[in-house]
Amino acid sequence: MIKQLNRRTGSGSHAILGDRHASSRLACGIHAILDDKPLIMGILNVTPDSFSDGGKFSGLNEAIQQVELMLSEGVDIIDIGGESTRPGSDSVAAGEQIRRVVPVIEAIRQQLNSDVLISIDTTLSEVAKAALDAGADIINDVSGGREDAAILTLAAQTGVPIILMHSQGMPKTMQDNPHYEDVVQEVLDVLNESIKAALKAGVKKEAIAIDPGIGFAKRKQDNIDLLAHLDKLVSTGFPVLLGTSRKRFMGTICDVTEPSELVTATAVTTALGVMAGVQMFRVHDVKENRQAADVAWAIKQSR
């Protein structure tokens, strides 16, 4: 799919950057890459403390090797983050995040000569700008634009797509006592507020995607309820990103404590998401989830 888009818009590591930031493939919004089968977003945490793979890819060589692996397995987007947002994690200053993520983005564009789409996983506008300058295409904000409103202005000014996720509070304390009366409706309400703020800042509607924030300030049943009603998120008309990869609530269901043993469980949620109309999946394990998404997509197309 990405190669087909390249033939329409030109190739090479800099040809995709449009007017400095906005990828030419994304100039008409994130919908431009959603006219085919679902997209797999591969997670690349260049952090020492992420919940599942902290420290594994904090070195540049290790990070690039992981990108090469994900590319070989059919990834569509590389999501690069320099701050862990696992429950209980501390915030990381913008300067340190930039130090971690920018060399990796530059290496993907220069050493690998790859024009794979890159998203920057951050809540801070300063980090997002540095990443976009280095060659990133998409902003992925787990705070939904609430931590640093300037990130919405940045998205509007550069024309890049932004993914707005639902959460409550900060990662340090978000799992202390989350509570919902109607989690699906409350998540939709908060996401609607984030969408309104983005539109007010000048972000185009077609540049917005949403994420229900599985595992972020959610109890086990909250996560299950959201997964059971993904169609309600899809019905908003905004592209949906689903991120269940290796998350703890599935471990409690499967009686598993090691996140890396939840690959199959993650792939099940990917297949269910495809059937519900979800279009993007953020995962650690590209190969398995690529297969799950493709098979589910083929089945769905036969309906």
Q: Which of 129, 218, 246, 282 is catalytic?
A: 282
Residues 63, 210: Cα–Cα separation, whole Å: 27
The beta strands (E) that lie in the chain are given as 39-45, 77-81, 117-121, 138-141, 162-165, 208-211, 241-242, 280-283
C-alpha distances out from residue 182 to 168, 234, 252, Å: 15, 18, 22
Contact present, 238 and 209 (Cβ < 8 Å): yes
E strand or H helix at 198: helix 183-201
Contact present, 214 and 242 (Cβ < 8 Å): yes
First to last CA, the chain: 22
Contact present, 142 and 213 (Cβ < 8 Å): yes
282 among known catalytic residues: yes
Is beta strand 39-45 parallel, antiparallel or unpaired with respect to 241-242? Answer: unpaired
Is beta strand 117-121 parallel, antiparallel or unpaired with respect to 162-165? Answer: unpaired
User: Can you read off the two tokens belonging to residue 9?
Assistant: 């818009």
86 among known catalytic residues: no
- Closest to 209 in 3D by CA, of 148, 137, 298: 137
Q: Which of 247, 290, 300, 303 is catalytic?
A: 247
User: Can you read off the two tokens belonging to residue 191?
Assistant: 């996401």
By three-state DSSP, how is residue 41 classified?
strand
Residues 288, 296: Cα–Cα separation, whole Å: 12
Contact present, 164 and 194 (Cβ < 8 Å): yes
| Residues noted as catalytic | 247, 282
